Amino acid sequence: MENQQTNQNTPPVENKKMLAGLLGIFLGGFGAHKFVLGYTQEGLILLGILLLSFPLMCIIIGAFTMYIPIIIGLIEGIIYITKTDEEFYNTYQVGKKPWF
């Protein structure tokens, strides 16, 4: 009985905090951290902005829009890593909070 109570308070083994955090920091522009957490739509938005930035570089604006998903991924990766395991699990895996 005691093992069941302690297991209920801790996040399960499938907590993806570290993986999502590192992917957010290193591959955040591609939306990799979003895909790992199951946020397909948000991952496609980040990937789409990044890919759209390449042709827009011809008119200079792409050089600026390219950094938007990269900065978002970096910030989210840091947020993911700094949260406790339980807080991360409840917020992003159970609560399904898609942004920040």
For the chain, what are the domain ranges? 28-93
Average confidence (pLDDT) over 16-40: 95
Provide the pLDDT for residue 11: 59
Confidence grade of residue 62 (pLDDT, cut at 50, 70, 90):
confident
Model pTM score: 0.82
* Of 100, 22, 72, 56, nearest in space to 91 by CA: 100
User: What average pLDDT does range 49-74 have in this prediction?
Assistant: 92
pLDDT of residue 9: 55
Q: Is the pLDDT score of 97 beyond 80?
A: yes
User: Which are the contacts of 71, defined by CB distance < 8 A and separation ≥ 6?
Assistant: none
Per-residue pLDDT, 36 = 95
Average pLDDT rounded to a whole number, residues 11-17:
74
pLDDT for residue 14 is more than 80: no
